[in-house]
Structure 1
Amino acid sequence: MTRDNWHILRDGPVLTLARRLPVRFDFCVDTQFPVCGRLRLARQIRQDMWRSLQTLNGFAPVIRVERAGDRLQVRAGGQVDRAFPRQKSEDMLSALLSDPAYRARWVAYAGGGRHA
């Protein structure tokens, strides 16, 4: 299924939002969130990740959100179709995903416990 050229894949407790199929993680960062709306959370992370990494040529974002008990396990990253600075990209993404202000905004937008 697509929405505005984004692929939304649902497989039980796993939701994946990707620009291209098949999904490929050339780099990624994992983190956890409280339970909230998976698709809304994925979209918010994707938007800010895209803004943060928009100078990375050939980048196609991927966000994978999986329900794991009372938490959501998130893997964010994506596919890059050319040589790129992997460590720098992972560091930038890690900084974004650990930023308390972004995290609070994402969870609030995604319903912060109201949605599974």
Structure 2
Amino acid sequence: MTARWRITHEDDVARIAPARGPARMDLAVHAAWDVPAPRVEGLSRRRFRVEHARQIRQDLWRALQRTRGFVPVVEVMTDHSGEGAQGDGAVDAGAEAGAVRVMVTAGGRIDAPQAPRAAMEETVHALLSNPENRRRWRRHAARRARPRPGDAL
């Protein structure tokens, strides 16, 4: 059985894209939100991003699976400067003090010429804006990103 999804992690950005074909973003919706830092302390930042991306991709696919020619691509980046752990200590103006900023680009490749682009963008925006989805994604990512026995610090 071959892998259906390729997970890459470069420059603190986790990307989930199809294993075959280009990882194009013909459709892209951006969103950002804050996660309280105490809820992500001690977690693997890399796994936290990858698990966020995995859950968002699954929900994105469920929402748009009937759209012919759509192949989801999700990128997740986190900014931990709000917790004072990295960088020059500057906090993003949109971030709460002591919070981790999660920045997502969700969309994907559209291979069908007559795809309802506006409706698709609305659907993706609604998916990313839903606070219940964000809580579920955060809980799942935090659970999966906990340190495991034998992990290097």
TM-score normalised to structure 1 length: 0.86
How many angstroms apart in 2 are the aligned matches of 1:48 and 1:66? 18
How far the C-alpha of 1:26 sits from its partner, in A, is 0.8
Q: Which residue of 2 aligns with 1:32?
A: 32
Q: Secondary structure at the match of 1:110?
A: helix
**3-state SS in 2 of match to 1:43:** helix
| Alpha-carbon distance between aligned partners in 2 of 1:21 and 1:67, rounded to the nearest angstrom | 27
Instruction: Read off the aligned partner of 2:110 and give its amino acid letter.
Output: V
Q: Aligned-pair distance for 1:67?
A: 2.5
How far apart are the structure 2 equivalents of 1:98 and 1:40? 18
Q: Give the SS at the match of 1:57.
A: coil
Note the aligned Cα RMSD (angstroms). 2.0
Correspondence for 1:110: 141
Can you list the C-alpha shifts for 1:52-87, whole angstroms capped at 9, x where unaligned? Answer: 001111111100112234312110000010121111
Identity, % of aligned pairs? 40
Please give the TM-score of this superposition, normalised by the length of structure 2: 0.66
Aligned residue pairs total 112
- Structure 1 distance, partners of 2:12, 2:130, is 25
Consecutive unaligned residues of structure 1, counting only runs of 5 or more, are: none
Q: Distance in 2 between matches of 1:72 and 1:103?
A: 10
